[in-house]
Amino acid sequence: MEGNSWNGKILWVDLTKKTTRIEELLPKVYEDFIGGKGLGTYLLYRELDAGTDPLSSDNILFFMTGPLQGLRAPNVGRWTLVTKSPLTGLYLDTHCGGPLGREIKNAGYDAIAVTGKSEKPVTLIIEDETVRFEDAQSIWGKGTHEATKILHEMTTKGSAVYVIGPAGENLVLTATGCCELAHQTGRGGAGAVLGSKNLKGVIARGTKKIEAADSSAIRQVNKTATKLWNEKTGYGFKEYGTPFLVEISNERGQFPTRNFQNGYFDGYESLTPEEMREWYIGAHLSCPHCIMRCTHAYRTEDPRFPGTEVESTVEYETLGLCGGTLGIKDAQCVFQLNHLCDDLGLDTIGAGSAVGFAMEAFEKGILSEEEIGFPLPFGDCEGAKKLVMMIAQKEGIGEILAQGTRYAAKEIGKGSEVFAVHVKGLEIPAWDPRGKKGMGLSYATGDVGGSHLRGWPQTMDHPDSSTLDVIESMVDQRDIKILRDSLIICHFTYHFPLTHEQNITMLNGASGLNYNKESISIFAQRVETLARLFNIREGVSREDDILPPRLWEAETHGPAKGMKSFIDQDDFERSLDKYYELRGWGKDGVPKEETIKKLGLNTLVS
Ligand code: SF4
């Protein structure tokens, strides 16, 4: 489109027929939905029929960019995948680092929509206006690291590679895809959607130059942000990346321990960056245009090939779900689990949660040694590694755990439902809500289920009093995140800080439009309401906006001792009422007619 940084085009790819077509979206659609999460939500709602099987050829993968990809803006070397989740059966947006978004944009598209199913495994290769379907039979079954290397050798220098591993091919519902070795489309099982389409990966390379309406506005924000970051010293995130959060989270009683039996891990020190220093390699494989470079790598051994040294880019979430949740204090073990998950194409949160669930089932005598194939006490590194490989291959008990913790609890029964820690099927990440007031409401109302990326209340309090007073701040934070996810700016930019106002300034610089805080608040409400309407169409109601029983048990240990996620059920229900009201939804959690009209969604949803 003229005078702004959107290309105005979506590339549609049909894997069944091996055909492509271009769709040109109206400027008003861009104005209303911007890009990334926003535009992806619009496309998913518009295109997908209610009840579509997420693993059928009818599901669609939307590889999204936004108005800032392809421009020199801070921390925008990222992209978004929107689809229907096979893990939850609901709306899914997942945000990934790496240059795929920039290359899609430089190839001349704002998004690539992939539908259908290839008869045989293929890789989709986009080089400017040329689209190829490359036979992928020789790399089907290979891990993400080897497949990435092979695909780089056979494509143009500078191409961005995104691939799935064996878990996605085997339709494991917590499967991810991997972009350039270190970045994952983490949650919700998008990797299995690629697998169901026989799509091993997507590669893009573009040479078009993207122009902003006013590049000086973006340049100025980039300059200020870089200066702020460079001036920071003695700052944990800068020195260590996300692992510095282990100590902070543990001190608040939020570090998941032994399948969320506690939020405080005795012996957590061995999982802190200071203690992991001897294996530290450095910060690399970071997202393009990133001024922070949070991807820190550690040396370890590939457990499948003893003697083979590999790099493990471990994050806080993995230290929580593959460390504390499993009662594992050995950092080397967590590095190995992280490497296994990345290479097999598994979400470290989903896989860690499934293994933690199995460990508790073993501890309680619900799963026996015979049923698992070996003893599986908390803290058992070898057992955890074996089980991760069984999940990826769907072997033995791994077949049940590969369907996610919700399904596993239902299948195994015997009371195990009370320690299956998920919301709407999406496993809870490494922040126990019993250590932070209002966090539980964010999980309960997240459009994708139990995600830590849907806005947290601005408070450091424990949930020892009513949550009602922090809900407005949670809505504000959710709005800020919806804008970031639509511009596809990394959330870690809050560390500079890169402000909400600066993000709006960059959006205006890219688009030539005049958004302000009020219009962005309406935009965020529009996107969340549309995602809600998608989920309602799939059968979601107020009864699904709940927390798992484990998070209603009073914490027995550490700084959050005595805490539940809310003071009581009544406080939770009143908080939910208030949240719905702030969003313009009825007490049943359904958006009101007047809200739908105010947000300009009436034509789309009628
Ligand atoms: S801070 Fe980390 S996740 Fe964010 S853009 Fe940079 S490298 Fe990527």
Element (H, E) at 240: helix 236-240
Residue 204 β-bridge partners: 126, 160
Residue 284: pLDDT band (50, 70, 90) is: confident
Mean pLDDT of all residues belonging to the chain: 96
Q: From the CB of 287, is ligand 1 less than 6 Å away?
A: yes
Other Cβ atoms less than 10 A from the Cβ of 113: the count is: 23
pLDDT at 153: 96
Q: Are 12 and 4 in contact (CB under 8 A)?
A: no
Q: From the CB of 295, is ligand 1 less than 6 Å away?
A: yes
Q: Is the pLDDT of residue 494 over 90?
A: no
Q: From the CB of 73, is ligand 1 less than 6 Å away?
A: no
Q: Are 538 and 54 in contact (CB under 8 A)?
A: no
Distance 379 CA to ligand 1 centre (A): 31
| Alpha-carbon span 432 to 565, nearest angstrom | 8
3-class state of residue 467 by DSSP: coil
pLDDT at 174: 98
Distance 243 CA to ligand 1 centre (A): 13
pLDDT at 2: 76
- Written as six digits, the tokens of 367 are 């799963």
Ligand 1 pocket test, pick from 68, 69, 75, 228 with the greatest ligand atom count within 8 Å of Cβ, gives 75
pTM: 0.97
Q: Is the pLDDT of residue 472 over 90?
A: yes
Distance 303 CA to ligand 1 centre (A): 27
- Beta-sheet pairing, 122-127 with 199-205: parallel
| Alpha-carbon span 142 to 63, nearest angstrom | 23
pLDDT at 366: 98
Q: Is the pLDDT of residue 496 over 90?
A: no
pLDDT at 324: 98
Q: From the CB of 71, is ligand 1 less than 6 Å away?
A: no
Distance 180 CA to ligand 1 centre (A): 13
pLDDT at 266: 95
Burial of residue 204 (CB within 10 Å: 0-12, 13-18, 19+) is buried
The residue whose CA is least distant from atom 4 of ligand 1 is 490
Q: From the CB of 293, is ligand 1 less than 6 Å away?
A: yes
pLDDT at 232: 87
Q: Are 217 and 513 in contact (CB under 8 A)?
A: no
pLDDT at 285: 84
- Ligand 1 atom at minimum distance from 293 CA: 7
The residue whose CA is least distant from atom 8 of ligand 1 is 287
pLDDT at 37: 98
Q: From the CB of 13, is ligand 1 less than 6 Å away?
A: no
| Alpha-carbon span 413 to 165, nearest angstrom | 30
Element (H, E) at 488: none
**Percentage above 70 pLDDT, the chain:** 100
pLDDT at 355: 98
pLDDT tens-place string over residues 192-205: 999 999 999 999 99
Say how far residue 78 (Cα) sits from the centre of its chain: 12
| Alpha-carbon span 309 to 180, nearest angstrom | 19
Q: Are 38 and 486 in contact (CB under 8 A)?
A: yes
pLDDT at 289: 82
| Alpha-carbon span 456 to 209, nearest angstrom | 37
For residue 57, give Cα distances in angstroms to 15, 187, 196, 197. Answer: 9, 21, 7, 6
Q: From the CB of 355, is ligand 1 less than 6 Å away?
A: no
Q: From the CB of 96, is ligand 1 less than 6 Å away?
A: no
Distance 448 CA to ligand 1 centre (A): 22
Residue 319: pLDDT band (50, 70, 90) is: very high
- Residue of 535, 555, 542, 541 whose CA lies nearest to 605: 535
Distance 97 CA to ligand 1 centre (A): 7
pLDDT at 497: 86
Distance 580 CA to ligand 1 centre (A): 33
Angle formed by the axes of helices 471-487 and 569-583, to 10°?
50
What mean pLDDT do residues 465-489 have? 97
| Alpha helices (H) along 312-468 | 316-321, 331-344, 348-363, 369-372, 381-393, 398-401, 405-412, 439-445
pLDDT at 235: 86
Question: Which has the minimum average pLDDT: 302-311, 376-385, 493-502, 550-559?
Answer: 493-502
pLDDT tens-place string over residues 396-443: 999 999 999 999 999 999 999 999 999 999 999 999 999 999 999 999
* Cβ partners under 8 Å of residue 498, min gap 6: 74, 75, 221, 225, 489
Q: Is the pLDDT of residue 54 over 80?
A: yes
For residue 241, give Cα distances in angstroms to 74, 142, 508, 533. Answer: 17, 29, 30, 36
What mean pLDDT do residues 59-83 have? 97
- Ligand 1 atom at minimum distance from 78 CA: 5
| Alpha-carbon span 55 to 57, nearest angstrom | 7
Q: Are 96 and 102 in contact (CB under 8 A)?
A: no
pLDDT at 23: 98
pLDDT at 549: 98
Distance 286 CA to ligand 1 centre (A): 6
| Alpha-carbon span 589 to 424, nearest angstrom | 15
What mean pLDDT do residues 330-338 have? 98
Q: Is the pLDDT of residue 485 over 90?
A: yes
Residue 67: pLDDT band (50, 70, 90) is: very high
Instruction: State residue 220 phi and psi, 5-degree precision.
Output: -65, -45
Q: From the CB of 242, is ligand 1 less than 6 Å away?
A: no
Q: Is the pLDDT of residue 1 over 80?
A: no
3-class state of residue 347 by DSSP: coil
Q: From the CB of 294, is ligand 1 less than 6 Å away?
A: yes
Q: Show the domains of the chain with their CATH numbers.
A: 1-229+477-535 (3.60.9.10), 236-427 (1.10.569.10)
Distance 592 CA to ligand 1 centre (A): 38
pLDDT at 404: 98
Residue 63 β-bridge partners: 81, 112
pLDDT at 3: 87
pLDDT tens-place string over residues 95-154: 999 999 999 999 999 999 999 999 999 999 999 999 999 999 999 999 999 999 999 999
pLDDT at 383: 98
What mean pLDDT do residues 527-537 have? 98
Q: From the CB of 133, is ligand 1 less than 6 Å away?
A: no
pLDDT at 565: 97
| Alpha-carbon span 240 to 478, nearest angstrom | 27
Distance 552 CA to ligand 1 centre (A): 34
Q: Are 119 and 563 in contact (CB under 8 A)?
A: no
Distance 236 CA to ligand 1 centre (A): 15
The residue whose CA is least distant from atom 2 of ligand 1 is 294
Q: Is the pLDDT of residue 375 over 90?
A: yes
| Alpha-carbon span 196 to 175, nearest angstrom | 11
| Alpha-carbon span 393 to 408, nearest angstrom | 16
Q: From the CB of 88, is ligand 1 less than 6 Å away?
A: no
Q: From the CB of 313, is ligand 1 less than 6 Å away?
A: no
Residue 72: pLDDT band (50, 70, 90) is: very high
Q: From the CB of 196, is ligand 1 less than 6 Å away?
A: no
